[in-house]
Structure 1
Amino acid sequence: MLASLSGNTKKQYNVTYKLWWQFCLDRNISNFESTVATVISFLTNEFNKGASYGTLNSHSKPKYNYSWDPQLVLNHISSWFPNRNINLEQLTKKLVILLALCTAQRVQTLSLINLNNIYFSDSGAKIFITDLIKTSAPGRDQPLLILPYFKENISICPATALSDYIYVTKHLRNKEDNRLILTFKKPNKPATTQTISRWIKNVLSESGVNISIFSAHSTRHASTSTACASGVCVDNIRKTAGWTKHSESFARFYKLNVINENEFAESILQE
């Protein structure tokens, strides 16, 4: 079970894990197989030691109770076109935000995209992820990212942006590393998860999204919530975002209302 967790996930929950493991060790019980009564005893023990309800419940609480409209971002980046005529910074940020929105994948997954695992067809591009990611586990399928050609509006077409980005960055690449996403400043090294997250937040801010509330990870909330509201079946949403069919993550954390802060005023002005 531990082998299926990424380093960042282990780090995020490390404090809680240590408390639980020590509790089990002191009582000579298994930390992997426990009863409801044991868990209640653990929580009661921590509460009596001074832990607040918020501390004990922190890992299960959704970070957001509403989301932002992806159209804000799409409208903003649509002006960054033609792709091969804009600067590398704009093209890079445009690609990563389209990847984040159209695949609903974690930034970690995007950072691992390898050129050798990208395949184009008449309908678009398929990207296979072969590296270990947060949700990797024995018997679980690795992510397959689907980017269609969006002919209705080529300025925000994800497959076209990907193709153009590969073309523009061809002469910047180090033959020893085939990571797709490069930093736009020399020496143009493969971008880290932290760097890509910062770029996404930059685009969100420029698009009018409140980044004091929403992080780069909120693209998963925005895209899956919008897809659900548009009638996309839940099984398809789960598959695209990398959740199993039994996962409750979408229902608990991602199926949010897409908020329009101007809705009231617009409803009056449109009368």
Structure 2
Amino acid sequence: MANRWFEFCERKNCDIISPHVTLPLEFLSDMFNSGLSYSSINTARSMLSSLFAVGQEYASFGQLPIVKRFMKGIFPLEFNAFPSDKKLCIVSLLTEYLSCTSVFRQDKAQLLLSYISPHKPISKDTVSHWVKKFMCNAGIDTVQYKPHSTRSASASHLLNKNVDLNNIMKSAGWAKEETFQKYYIHIAPPTFNYGTAVLESCSSEK
């Protein structure tokens, strides 16, 4: 891995241990575009962190916010099939979507395309608008809950259903339980039904 970095620096004519921060990012990006695995790129990130310091504000190259965002962006997503209901199966839906949009896709790498001609890749604002529209149709209060709330809502729902916290964090890519607990968990308070409470009270007195 170090030899790969040395060869990169030679091509770019840059210092091996004190390059501008954009160069090691370009190095990692080249590895990703070459089809190398996330594990290999993460190993390279650790190697670069041990090679040089980028100032006293951060512990290492790997702790730079821009590097963290890059690593988060290339983190591989895995979807499990749900054959018992194809309407809820993300694998079936994505396969069908890619098939239906293949004629418009050409060299477009982005997943979501506009349904309006000429079917260009959509912006994040459009995605947010779509999600908000679906939330409204589902009866969700979009004044209180925004499109970015769907992640924490789904995690909280699973936790309410007693799904193991470690499995939730691993699947969603969360590393620290404290951060997850503080910002993403929204446990629904227990609901109270007056009639049920009265009936249960009378039943217990028999």
Paired with 1:133 and 1:153, the residues of 2 have a C-alpha distance of: 40
Q: 1:200 aligns with which of 131, 143, 153?
A: 131
Aligned pairs (5 A) from 1:40-51: none
Q: 1:151 aligns with which of 73, 83, 86?
A: 83
Q: 1:183 aligns with which of 103, 109, 114?
A: 114
Q: CA deviation at 1:228?
A: 1.6
Could you say what secondary structure the match of 1:189 adopts? coil
Could you tell me the TM-score, scaled by structure 2's length? 0.57
Paired with 2:182 and 2:137, the residues of 1 have a C-alpha distance of: 29
Structure 1 or 2: more strand by fraction = 1
Q: Give yes or no for the alignment of 1:163 onto 2:100.
A: no
Partner of 2:26: none
Partner of 1:256: 186
Give aligned pairs, total.
141
Q: CA deviation at 1:190?
A: 0.8
Partner of 2:35: none
Paired with 1:134 and 1:145, the residues of 2 have a C-alpha distance of: 19
Instruction: State whether residues 172 and 188 of structure 1, in contact with CA within 8 Å, keep that contact through their aligned partners in structure 2.
Output: yes
Specify every segment of 5 or more residues in structure 2 that has no aligned partner in the other structure, as ranges: 1-20, 23-54, 59-64, 201-206
Question: Deviations for 1:119-161, whole angstroms, at most 9, x for unmatched residues?
Answer: xxxxxxxxxxxxx9895367x7942222222122221111111
Paired with 1:208 and 1:259, the residues of 2 have a C-alpha distance of: 19
Structure 1 residues 191 and 134, CA gap change in structure 2 (3 angstroms): farther
Instruction: State whether residues 148 and 159 of structure 1, in contact with CA within 8 Å, keep that contact through their aligned partners in structure 2.
Output: yes
Q: Give yes or no for the alignment of 1:136 onto 2:69.
A: yes
Flag the structure with larger Rg: 2
Structure 1 residues 265 and 143, CA gap change in structure 2 (3 angstroms): farther
Larger displacement relative to structure 2 (246-255 or 205-214) = 246-255
Could you say what secondary structure the match of 2:109 adopts? coil
Structure 1 residues 182 and 141, CA gap change in structure 2 (3 angstroms): closer
Paired with 1:152 and 1:225, the residues of 2 have a C-alpha distance of: 24
Aligned Cα root-mean-square deviation (Å)? 3.5
Paired with 1:151 and 1:241, the residues of 2 have a C-alpha distance of: 22
Could you say what secondary structure the match of 1:148 adopts? coil
Specify every segment of 5 or more residues in structure 1 that has no aligned partner in the other structure, as ranges: 4-29, 34-131
Structure 1 residues 258 and 161, CA gap change in structure 2 (3 angstroms): farther
Instruction: State whether residues 222 and 258 of structure 1, in contact with CA within 8 Å, keep that contact through their aligned partners in structure 2.
Output: no
Q: 1:229 aligns with which of 160, 163, 173?
A: 160
Given residue 131 of structure 2, which amino acid in structure 1 is its aligned partner?
I
Q: Give yes or no for the alignment of 1:239 onto 2:166.
A: no
Could you tell me the TM-score, scaled by structure 1's length? 0.44
Q: CA deviation at 1:31?
A: 9.1
Structure 1 or 2: more helix by fraction = 2
Could you say what secondary structure the match of 1:221 adopts? helix
Paired with 1:159 and 1:252, the residues of 2 have a C-alpha distance of: 31
